[in-house]
């Protein structure tokens, strides 16, 4: 059984009266790439900052490598590479001086050849002052800083922010390579195709509460199916008013449905009007994520965290 | 940990050189003009305002102590306010502190290295300023008769370090508790000004004599006696003691607080033990 690298229990942070996160229970295993999804203000950054002991929990606990994030933060951080979401750098320092400084604060020696390799792969020139770098290049410094020590755990807050698509791809390659080395990656992102491409599991956080934790493929499969059914006879408008089925629209004889349950009833109804063609377009993580939020916003009750 | 100190010092070299040379030139100007203005200064010496402030402008010692020895720490106070509030609250405001906190260092180590760095930087500024002033004094000694030696002047300029330290650590302390750098800098500035003018005002009004010891400037001797009697060890000890106390309180606040939140202490997360 893989070691649990990150574990939180009823993790709660309040800023005065304002909610940061509430009762977040999550578990990330060794060698796993875990995507942390949620809109702005949902609590992603707060969770990551608690893991880094930048913010302290109001209630509950967080542990990494079996150690308490507050009490044994130094021992934990020896094994972590962290990329903050709001990366700020010293404007008058040169890129490589800054990275040298960070490397010198770690006990574990940074492999210079690997760091050079990161520069080359990210097409990054470390010899300039940081105030001269574009937003994308500043982000590259943060990425090199997080990855250069080959840490056992990477905590990355929106790692591809400000990067062009080519560089986004390279960062995702670095994430995959970390997983191939049996290292663990915990990252938040708004770019759902990249999460889908690289993550083993995702957690969805909303209003500070973790509402779903599941493997990416099963999350997509379980949420709903899309059926585009072309019928021989036009059905009445309420023909597919079936529980668990949402009619998304019509295009001539074609009826576009999202089916969460009651697939047999949908097919029975369709057969009654004569099926000419059925298409099942693939559902992406983005579709699932948006549908999830849409349902939550329309009174659905899915606030139970599901651990898989 | 020492690498963080190295980084903190390296990032301050420009300020050390700049402030050091600037204050050396400031002092040098006063020392150099004394032969020209000594008669006018002697005429001013009898004014009650200067007497109340303990200034003896008629002598070289009095003129230099009430200008160079007094105003170098006051100007260095500006540096103390800027640098101490930037060191913690400023780095939190602009976000650079978060990456340092992500390193395998205890918070006390981070704050200690930053405090040592600003203490060393302010000391080096005074060394440069004191050395520059001593050189100028040595140069003019041939043209004007003064009893102060370059070494005495150097020590007198360095005597501004304890009070600078007290305000440096006050800025660090307020930066550890207040929500942002601006409020920390404002509060430190108000205390600095109130301390200086409060002590002076108390010199004019006898009934306020009792509150004089509340001002940190009360323990900083900028009279001519600094040349004849030297720096008072008790005052140095008290100012450094206050600095240590402020640092300890800053450490306590920084150890317990949420960083990157930028709120007043009561608005931050309640921490469970």
B102 touches chain A (CB under 8 A): yes
Cα-Cα end-to-end distance for chain A: 14
Write out chain B residues lying below 8 Å of A77, CB-based.
102-105
Mean pLDDT value across residues A38-47: 88
The single residue listed with the structure tokens 């001539």 is: A252
Q: Which pLDDT score is estimated for B200?
A: 79
Can you say whether the dihedral through the CA atoms of B211, B217, B220, B226 is positive or negative? negative
Reduce the DSSP state of residue A210 to 3 states and report it.
strand
Q: Which pLDDT score is estimated for A301?
A: 36
Task: Write the pLDDT tens digit of every residue in B194-226.
Answer: 998 888 777 777 777 788 888 999 998 877 788
B266 touches chain A (CB under 8 A): yes
Residues A207 and A299 sit within 8 Å (Cβ to Cβ): no
Alpha helices in B141-270 (DSSP H): 150-158, 161-177, 181-204, 225-228, 233-256
Mean per-residue pLDDT of chain B:
87
A216 touches chain B (CB under 8 A): no
Least confident of A116-120, A252-256, B57-61, B233-237: B57-61
In what side-by-side order are the strands of the sheet with A59-64?
A: A18-29, A4-15, A59-64, A67-68
Question: Please, which pLDDT band fits residue B259 given cuts at 50, 70 and 90?
Answer: confident
Residues B23 and B131 sit within 8 Å (Cβ to Cβ): no
Q: Is the pLDDT of residue B178 over 50?
A: yes
More confident residue, B49 or B28: B28
B96 touches chain A (CB under 8 A): yes
Mean pLDDT value across residues A132-138: 93
Q: Which pLDDT score is estimated for A299?
A: 45
More confident residue, A2 or A227: A227
Write out chain B residues lying below 8 Å of A145, CB-based.
99
Which residues 9-48 of chain B have a CB within 8 Å of chain A? 11
Task: Write the pLDDT tens digit of every residue in A165-217.
Answer: 899 999 999 999 999 999 999 999 877 778 888 999 999 888 899 988 888 87
Q: Is the pLDDT of residue A134 over 80?
A: yes
Task: Write the pLDDT tens digit of every residue in B74-118.
Answer: 999 999 999 999 998 999 888 899 999 999 999 999 999 999 999
pLDDT above 90 covers what percent of chain A? Answer: 55
B104 touches chain A (CB under 8 A): yes
In what side-by-side order are the strands of the sheet with A254-259?
A: A245-251, A254-259, A225-231, A275-279
Task: Give the count of Cβ contacts less than 8 A between chain A and B.
Answer: 93
B105 touches chain A (CB under 8 A): yes
Q: Is the pLDDT of residue B190 over 50?
A: yes
Q: Is the pLDDT of residue B66 over 70?
A: yes
Q: Strand runs (DSSP E) across A128-237, as ranges?
A: 153-157, 184-188, 201-206, 209-215, 225-231
In chain B, what is the greatest distance between 2 CA atoms, to the nearest angstrom?
Answer: 70
Q: Is the pLDDT of residue B3 over 90?
A: no
**Whether A101 and B3 lie within 8 Å, measured CB to CB:** yes
Write out chain B residues lying below 8 Å of A89, CB-based.
96, 99
Task: Write the pLDDT tens digit of every residue in A222-231.
Answer: 667 888 999 9
For chain A, give the number of residues. 308
CA of A143: which chain B residue's CA is closest?
B99
Question: Please, which pLDDT band fits residue A300 given cuts at 50, 70 and 90?
Answer: very low
The single residue listed with the structure tokens 């040169």 is: A94
B3 touches chain A (CB under 8 A): yes
**Whether A84 and B270 lie within 8 Å, measured CB to CB:** no
């Amino acid at each position: 059984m893989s070691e649990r690298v990150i574990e939180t229990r009823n993790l709660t942070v309040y800023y005065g009266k304002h909610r940061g996160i509430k009762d977040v229970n999550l578990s990330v295993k060794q060698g796993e790439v875990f995507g942390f999804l949620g809109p702005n203000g949902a609590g992603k950054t707060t969770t990551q900052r608690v893991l880094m002991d930048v913010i302290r929990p109001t209630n509950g606990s967080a542990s990494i490598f079996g150690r308490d994030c507050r009490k044994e933060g130094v021992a934990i951080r020896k094994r972590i590479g962290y990329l903050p979401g709001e990366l700020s750098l010293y404007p008058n320092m040169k890129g490589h001086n800054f990275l040298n400084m960070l490397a010198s604060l770690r006990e574990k020696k940074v492999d210079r050849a690997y760091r050079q390799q990161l520069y080359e792969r990210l097409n990054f020139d470390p010899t300039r002052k940081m105030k001269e770098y574009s937003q994308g290049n500043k982000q590259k410094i943060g990425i090199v800083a997080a990855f250069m020590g080959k840490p056992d755990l990477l905590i990355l807050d929106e790692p591809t922010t400000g990067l062009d698509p080519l560089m986004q791809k390279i960062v995702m390659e670095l994430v995959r390579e970390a997983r191939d080395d049996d290292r663990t990656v915990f990252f938040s992102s708004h770019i759902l195709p990249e999460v889908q491409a690289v993550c083993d599991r995702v957690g969805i956080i909303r209003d500070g509460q973790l509402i779903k934790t599941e493997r990416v493929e099963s999350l997509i499969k379980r949420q709903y199916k899309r059926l585009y059914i072309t019928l021989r006879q036009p059905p009445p408008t309420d023909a597919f008013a079936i529980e668990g089925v949402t009619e998304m629209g019509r295009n001539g004889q074609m009826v576009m449905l999202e089916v969460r349950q009651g697939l047999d009833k949908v097919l029975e109804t369709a057969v009654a009007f004569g099926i000419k063609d059925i298409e099942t377009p693939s559902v992406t993580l983005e579709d699932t994520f948006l549908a999830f939020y849409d349902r939550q916003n329309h009174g659905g009750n899915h606030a139970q965290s599901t651990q898989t | 940990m020492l690498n963080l100190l190295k980084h903190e010092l390296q990032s301050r070299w420009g300020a050390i050189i700049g402030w050091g040379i600037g204050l050396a030139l400031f002092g040098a100007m006063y020392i150099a003009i004394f032969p020209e203005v000594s008669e006018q200064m002697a005429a001013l010496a009898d004014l009650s305002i200067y007497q109340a402030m303990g200034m003896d402008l008629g002598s070289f010692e009095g003129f230099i102590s009430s200008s160079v020895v007094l105003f170098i720490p006051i100007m260095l106070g500006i540096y103390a306010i800027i640098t101490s509030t930037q060191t913690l609250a400023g780095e939190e405001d602009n976000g650079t502190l978060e990456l340092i906190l992500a390193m395998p260092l205890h918070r006390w180590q981070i704050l200690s290295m930053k405090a040592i760095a600003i203490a060393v930087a302010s000391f080096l500024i005074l060394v440069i300023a004191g050395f520059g002033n001593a050189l100028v004094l040595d140069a003019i000694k041939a043209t004007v008769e003064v009893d102060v030696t370059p070494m005495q002047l150097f020590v007198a300029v360095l005597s501004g370090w304890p009070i600078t330290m007290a305000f440096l650590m006050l800025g660090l302390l307020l930066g550890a508790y207040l929500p942002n750098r601006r409020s920390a800098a404002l509060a430190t500035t108000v205390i600095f000004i109130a301390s200086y003018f409060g002590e002076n005002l108390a010199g004019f009004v006898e009934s306020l004599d009792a509150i004089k010891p509340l001002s940190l400037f009360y323990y900083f001797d900028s009279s001519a006696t600094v040349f004849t009697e030297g720096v008072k060890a008790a005052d140095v000890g008290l100012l450094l003691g206050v600095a240590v106390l402020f640092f300890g309180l800053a450490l306590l606040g920084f150890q317990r607080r949420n960083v990157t939140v930028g709120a007043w202490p009561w608005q931050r997360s309640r921490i469970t033990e």
